[in-house]
Structure 1
Amino acid sequence: MTTHFITAEIDLQENPAELQKEIEKELEKRGETLRWAVTDVKDKKATVEAIALTADTEA
């Protein structure tokens, strides 16, 4: 397993519960998320930083 630092931009949602679901859905695409945090909000977009695990692939 390898850890990765991920930054993503997520459109803000009307409902905070929907924002959390949208963040988790986007991060799920990039590996197993260990932790995440919203670090900035500008122009109706939230910047999310996360640490995720991905499986090692051998060539």
Structure 2
Amino acid sequence: MTTHFITAEVDLQETPTELQKAIEAELQKQGEPLRWAITSVDEAQQKAAVEAVVTLDAVSAE
């Protein structure tokens, strides 16, 4: 298993619950999120910047 630090940009949502789901869905594309934080919000662009640590399973060579 390896860990990676990633950044992502997510559209702001109507509710905090919807925003959390959107962030987690975006992070799942990169691996299994261990932790994440919204580091900035651009109200004009309606975007949230997210920094996260995700894990990836190591592929075993056969």
What is the percent sequence identity of the aligned residues? 63
Identify the match of residue 55 of structure 1 among 36, 40, 57: 57
RMSD over aligned Cα atoms = 1.1
Give aligned pairs, total.
59
Q: Extract unaligned runs of 5+ from structure 2.
A: none
Q: CA deviation at 1:48?
A: 0.4
Task: State the partner residue of 2:15.
Answer: 15
Larger Cα Rg: Structure 1 or Structure 2?
Answer: 2
Q: TM-score, normalised by structure 2?
A: 0.86
**1:46 pairs with 2:20:** no
Moved over 3 A (4+): none
Secondary structure in 2 matching 1:19: helix
TM-score by length of 1: 0.90
